[in-house]
Amino acid sequence: MRALLVRPPSVLGRMSRQNLQHPTNILGLASELRARGHDAGMLDLEVVPGGIDACVRHVGETQPGLLGVSVVTPHVPGAQALLAAVRRENPHIFLIAGGPHATALAADLLDEIPELDAVCVGEGDESLVQICDRLEHLDAPERRRVDLSDIPGLQLRDAGFTGPRDPLESLDVLAPMDRSLLDWPSYERLGGAKGVASPGIIRDGIRAAQMHLSRGCYARCVFCSTNTVWGERARPGIRKRCLESVLAEVDELVNVYGVNHLNFEDDIFPPTLRYLEALCTSLLDKGVTWSCNARVDGLKREHFELMAASGCVKIDFGVESGSERILELNKKLVTRQAVEHVFAEAKRVGILRTAYLMLGSHVDETPEEVEQTWRLANEIRPDYITFTIACPYPGTELWTTCNDLGFVDVMPSTGRPDWKRYGYYPGTPPWRFTHFTPEAMVATQKRFLRRWYWNPRFVWQTLRRVRSTSQLKALMVAGLDVTKFIGGREVASDT
């Protein structure tokens, strides 16, 4: 069975190149299909020029029997336009969507995008293989009439929900990612001296890739949809890959693809402290640098020393708020004291540190509590910050709360939110919080970012790390993108 998996074009505009990453979600699914005997390919419209027209041409040339699209919330309008265009030219192709938004609002997405035949709910590794097995020997006109009601984890147009799928007990049964499916030159063209590494890592000759060690999270942060995506049936706990599988992937990335930097993109890093110790020990002689997203709880001085020795050059910490009240309400399960500890220890061993900060990680956050976040940032002095407006994504507790309070705007024409504005940089958000109007959110966000990135101390500290003209050029491009975003000076009250 020939299948094509697609990531729709980015809605971030210029800022997309600052967050460029390989689409490991659809890459993993395509790799699994290929390992199970199907002819699967992928198309990343974040890097392939031509957008929807390019996808339609590709479908015309390759004639897949199934096209799957990955749908995060701001991609919904783009996915709708893409699927409509594909359907016009290919009336018999089977169209399916998956991803966080598709999982959270499966039935609604089928209603919103009439071209869809099905939505995959939760993990799609086995579901997609079973669908392709079922479609493989059917003539084209029969594919859209096939009975899939016995395959769990699907929302079908005519048969409803087929029931939840049990999560994979072991991630080690999955096929290794086939990175020959990636268009490496396109990512390098856009990424330049920062590649697809974590933002802030800029150096000549970087060749980076994302890796995943586990699935799942033990926390229940009100702004996060992780547990919705993997499913409550996957709780409690974290499913982790065996270290042998991880190291085999590292060896392939280094020896086959020339990768010299890894970015671990897990919901929880590390899965356990014992796992971290074994991983770091194994990476000591691999000759790669690496970065990760990490929580601020659990890591001790000896862990930072081992991480630095094994090549860790940057850690992105989820801090969110400087208010103890908000940290408790948003169910982050961390404290200011823990934040201060990890930032001090990472700095001591020379690891760059990013603080992920957020306005509205709980709907009741006040302007004074946002100022507490600013004061915390000045105390811990991270090398980089992000300060995003919390987005009430479907599938999160924040989404439910905002809807219950009437804080979510809908478009009169559809009765749904304007999904394309549900992202990190949404313009004026189509939602509000208890103490912030949409205009006040944006004004506060830009004021916070200006105070940080336009500070001469930050500029000087960043320039001190420059070692070449290409690094300087990459920093200038990133700086111009950020400046373009934060340059406006909205004036708004906070209530």
DSSP 125-193: HHHHHHHHHHHTTS-HHHHTT---TTSSSEEETTTEE--PPPPPS-GGGSPPP-GGGS-HHHHHHHHGG
Q: Can 2-161 and 183-486 be said to share one CATH topology?
A: no
186 burial level (CB within 10 Å; 0-12, 13-18, 19+): middle
CATH 3.30.930.10 describes domain 2-161: no
Question: What does the alpha-carbon distance between residue 203 and residue 129 come to, in Å, rounded to a whole number?
Answer: 40
Confidence bin at 436 (pLDDT 50/70/90) = very high
Average pLDDT over residues 473-491: 69
Q: What percent of the chain has pLDDT above 90?
A: 76
Q: How high is the pLDDT of residue 434?
A: 98
Tokens of 488: 């406006």
Q: Is the alpha carbon torsion for 410, 413, 416, 417 positive or negative?
A: negative
Q: Is the alpha carbon torsion for 420, 421, 422, 427 positive or negative?
A: positive
| Strand-strand pairing, 289-294 and 214-215 | unpaired
Q: Is the alpha carbon torsion for 303, 308, 312, 316 positive or negative?
A: positive
Question: What does the alpha-carbon distance between residue 334 and residue 376 come to, in Å, rounded to a whole number?
Answer: 14
Confidence bin at 298 (pLDDT 50/70/90) = confident
Classify residue 258 as left (phi > 0), alpha (psi -120 to 50) or beta. Answer: left
Task: Name the DSSP letter for residue 390.
Answer: P
Sequence-separated (6 or more) residues with CB below 8 Å from residue 432:
407, 438, 441
Residue 354 and residue 346 in contact, taking contact as beta carbons nearer than 8 Å: no
Question: What does the alpha-carbon distance between residue 215 and residue 230 come to, in Å, rounded to a whole number?
Answer: 8
Residue 1 and residue 136 in contact, taking contact as beta carbons nearer than 8 Å: yes
Confidence bin at 233 (pLDDT 50/70/90) = low
Strands (E), 206-311: 208-211, 214-215, 239-240, 261-264, 289-294
Question: What does the alpha-carbon distance between residue 465 and residue 202 come to, in Å, rounded to a whole number?
Answer: 9
Given the structure tokens 């990890």, which residue do they identify? 342
Residue ranges covered by each domain of the chain: 2-161, 183-486
**Residue 493 pLDDT > 90, yes or no?**
no
Confidence bin at 411 (pLDDT 50/70/90) = very high
Question: What does the alpha-carbon distance between residue 270 and residue 298 come to, in Å, rounded to a whole number?
Answer: 9
* Dihedral angle, C-alpha 243, 248, 254, 259, nearest 10 °: -60
- Span of 205-214, 313-322, 383-392, 478-487 with lowest mean pLDDT: 478-487
Residue 1 and residue 133 in contact, taking contact as beta carbons nearer than 8 Å: yes
Confidence bin at 297 (pLDDT 50/70/90) = confident
Question: What does the alpha-carbon distance between residue 42 and residue 52 come to, in Å, rounded to a whole number?
Answer: 14
Q: Which residues of 198-217 are buried (b: 16+ CB within 10 A; e: fewer)?
A: bbbbbbeebbbbbbbbbbbb
- Give the other-Cβ count within 10 Å of 450's Cβ: 16
Q: Mean pLDDT of all residues in the chain?
A: 91
Average pLDDT over residues 134-147: 94
Sequence-separated (6 or more) residues with CB below 8 Å from residue 91:
none
Residue 238 and residue 58 in contact, taking contact as beta carbons nearer than 8 Å: no
Tokens of 195: 């590649």
CATH pick for 183-486 out of 3.80.30.20, 3.30.230.10, 1.10.150.120, 3.30.460.10: 3.80.30.20
Average pLDDT over residues 49-73: 95
> Mind listing the pLDDT tens digit for each residue in 1-25?
999 999 998 776 655 666 788 999 9
Q: How high is the pLDDT of residue 231?
A: 64
* Predicted TM-score (pTM) of this structure: 0.93
